[in-house]
Amino acid sequence: MSSEKEIKEYADRLCRKCSGVHITQIKERNDWIINELVATFNISYEYAKNCFEDNKNR
């Protein structure tokens, strides 16, 4: 199982990759990133969402 730090670092890389989205697309971008975390790390949606939202605290 991956560590929370590793998940947050991957989320950070995805955020940087998608940083140029228009303000109206931020929700869709965030949902995409959370779903990527779920698929990549085989974790629950809620845990992925918490890691993503708490990404600044790593």
pLDDT at 26 > cutoff 60? yes
**pLDDT for position 56:** 62
Domain ranges of the chain: 4-53
CA-CA distances (angstroms) from residue 20 to 15, 25, 42, 51, 52? 9, 10, 27, 21, 18
Residue 3 structure tokens: 């560590």
Question: Could you tell me the pTM of the whole model?
Answer: 0.84
Whole-angstrom Cα distance, residue 5 to residue 19? 20
**pLDDT for position 1:** 66
**pLDDT for position 20:** 85
Whole-angstrom Cα distance, residue 44 to residue 28? 18
